[in-house]
Structure 1
């Protein structure tokens, strides 16, 4: 079996991303580190996969790959549409791949695209950042909703949106709040858990941290009984699809939204405004992230590669009718039944 970049990184005792930069952007490494990696690569007989097409000097010829976990989720559809729009404006060709939340498929997709595109935008990956950078090799990459040192990253910072949410819910009298997590592999979920746990301590509220769910309507419906059993009077869901499923599941259990249970989602997808009741949601500017990702990659493929940085996009609360004051009817009886 031919040696891989992972083999080189292990033998040289460096991170996979560091080994990748030895071949993709050696000027960022110190001379000793670069020499060690190249020496190990030579000893192992490793050579990076050649690109099928050299990066285009003319931005009109640049092709940019966009990888998302689920194109059926409206928030990722918005990301892709914005990326396509920016590509059209900048005369780039944008191609799309859907990994279906499958890390194995995501690896295959990146391997397939890296020799066919001039830049890659990888959104809400289920892979470790170092592995993504290693897979991309020489190809410029922007990580979206995944933060990593030494890479261009665009993240939706949930801090302000969650702070507004907790402040709003506590003002309505809610002191026991549940959070329904998304995927264990999701950087966004990890970030949101850290923020809401800190806010729970700051606001001195009881926080019920519920386990991971598939980030779909069905996942939210499945979590409804656990939310009700927790005794929480309000719940924040990892995303709007989960929140919509929670409302459906709660109604099936005889729980009124928002009379017995206030529900908050995250993403502010179009369905949030037309659901019944209207879903209170934290707006996440993923469309803006799509524009920025293509803009950054457009600069990189024409040689304008700057020091890697992380761009943080703010979030904010959008209040609708799925939230209301703490209800008069307690959930204790329902919790005993569940």
Structure 2
């Protein structure tokens, strides 16, 4: 089957009976073309199905009108909100968004930034796994914005972060209201910036409330990490566990069910993210909701602004979604 021929600017010029340069000006700098002529050119271009060549536009302007969003795990429903928000903001600005999966790897993240950098006008990195030095070097070469990570040493790299301080206080207050006097945090990857912030917030809120807090892990932030994390929590005698994210929490719920442990009667379980499906599992998961769609949109909007050289850190509110996986402690498993 023959490949359809792309309509070119020369085709539009021929059909409109004008010079190619006139078509170019009508499309890029309309103020330099007679209004009647411009309307005629636009009508011909629409009739022929002409679409400007992005490569040609990039060569003439030095901009690609394309942005990249990198996420650690494209299969994790948590990132669906960030992707949707980023796409919405890019489309509203007439830009194209490309997506990359870093596979929870700092090395892969660095490779994608290096490969995509020359081809896009800016890169958003969600839950970055690279070191501060890696990200600082990347920010020196590319327009960069971060979601759930800050880079104070490089003021030109803006960020969008969830309000974990207020969110972790909500979690601890909720567990205390149910009579829990201690909690176990089932941590994710050591290199996770958001994981460190969540644990720091839980420690501070627990100390203020007179609650004992202990961290176990690291565990894979996936369903597959759940069995080992749940077994460790049971061995530690935990009656309230807070998981690094919802994927791990759902894996924990599955393991507890397999072992005949009543949730929430014997163990209360809390997650982070309020990802799609958190309210579908059995029991429905209590979790800290983050406005991931707003975060994705905001990150793209930060890149669309002219560089200011001043640190822009946008804090997005969080809210605890109380569901059936948490409840009053009732007796002992032993």
Same fold per superposition (TM over 0.5): yes
Note the C-alpha offset of 1:108: 0.7
TM-score between the two structures when normalised by the length of structure 1: 0.78
Between the aligned partners of 2:139 and 2:214, the Cα distance in structure 1 is 39
Note the C-alpha offset of 1:55: 9.9
Contact 1:114 1:136 in 2 (8 A): no
**Alignment root-mean-square deviation, CA:** 1.7
Contact 1:114 1:120 in 2 (8 A): yes
Contact 2:68 2:120 in 1 (8 A): yes
Contact 1:133 1:141 in 2 (8 A): no
Note the C-alpha offset of 1:136: 4.2
Aligned length: 274
- Give the match for residue 146 of structure 2: 143
Q: Larger deviation: 136-145 or 241-250?
A: 136-145
- Counterpart mapping for 1:69-218 below 5 A: 69-149=72-152, 150=155, 151-218=157-224
- Give the match for residue 314 of structure 2: 311
Deviations for 1:300-328, whole angstroms, at most 9, x for unmatched residues?
3xxx5352211111211000011111112
- Give the match for residue 23 of structure 1: none
1:220 to 217, 223, 226: 226
- Give the match for residue 256 of structure 1: 262
Contact 1:110 1:136 in 2 (8 A): no
Contact 1:125 1:186 in 2 (8 A): yes
Structure 1 residues 103, 138: CA separation in 2 closer, same or farther (over 3 Å shift)? closer
2:247 to 237, 241, 255: 241
* Structure 1 SS opposite 2:279: helix
- Give the match for residue 42 of structure 1: none
Between the aligned partners of 1:57 and 1:285, the Cα distance in structure 2 is 34
Between the aligned partners of 2:140 and 2:173, the Cα distance in structure 1 is 44
Contact 2:227 2:251 in 1 (8 A): yes
- Give the match for residue 329 of structure 2: 326
Between the aligned partners of 2:228 and 2:98, the Cα distance in structure 1 is 34
In structure 2, runs of 5+ residues without a counterpart are 1-57
Contact 1:197 1:207 in 2 (8 A): yes
Note the C-alpha offset of 1:286: 1.6
Structure 1 or 2, whichever has the larger Rg, is 2
